[in-house]
A and B are shown apart, each in its own frame.
Chain A
């Protein structure tokens, strides 16, 4: 069974960068797909990748990650100014982030207009977990 967990921004707002990364990564390691309201900073995203790499082992193969920021692709100056102002007032609360374990999500395909989560089929996931149990 697939679990999708929604994490409101208020749950991470007061956390340190390390705390935010830990929280999200722990959920992914529990085989949950996380839908985070808002996003991490760019530096935190890189740190998340680094921490993920440090923790890869036989059972945890990494994560799939997608950050959607509706204002990122805006070109005109006024919209950019509005986005910067909103960012200053709200922090990184705009947009959303999807993080899931690579053993559950095969791929996140995105283009400017859509986001597709391609899941691993249940058969291959259960084969993999029974292999893990055998080890």
Chain B
């Protein structure tokens, strides 16, 4: 009887103080869609600091970047996230493209080499995430094979996906085109740089995790 009572007390304490699960939130997408800008926006909103540097030169993020224990609140709910910002996925990397941004040949080749490793890492990390934000540039054609391959792989692994149509502050952006391309997923239009529509984004994020 005494043992049973102690078990009951132990279980009660465990249920009260058990550590809340941290959601490993991957940020995936093609190159220059604004993944790091979104990661920075989320981190700035909730912990007041940024995660990584952004640049107009493609493949600025060439390593996985993680910010742990980012506590996000939405209405009465609160969740801990590990924000995992991944390098942009591409099927080709040409060092000569970087030289158009005034990088020397040596710098361009180094960047290309690092970028290829980054893509490999990003794909490997698909195994380690609980949910994914697929960030697409709202001004670009969403039917790119990279987008379809990323989303298809997440579906095959049963990982919840929220599609982010970024850069909707730009004139050329077409939210509807992205929604039509992936009708089976919820799509939220935002501007990560300007912080536009972030309330809807956090609402959709909590719906994704529930």
The chain A residues found within 8 Å of chain B, CB to CB, are 41-43, 45-46, 49-50, 52-54, 56, 61-67, 75, 102, 108-112
Contact = CB atoms under 8 A, between A and B. Distances in A.
Contacts of A108: 145
A102 B89 CA distance: 15
A66 B120 contact: no
Interface residues on B, range: 20 to 34
Given A49-B91, A50-B119, A56 B112 contact: yes
Contact of B120 (A54, A67, A102): A54
B119 A49 contact: yes
A102 B96 CA distance: 12
B126 interface: yes
Contacts of A52: 91-92
B149 A42 contact: yes
B74 interface: no
B94 A46 contact: no
A1 B119 CA distance: 31
Nearest to B94: A61
A63 B92 contact: yes
Most buried by B among A49, A67, A110: A49
Contacts of B89: 49
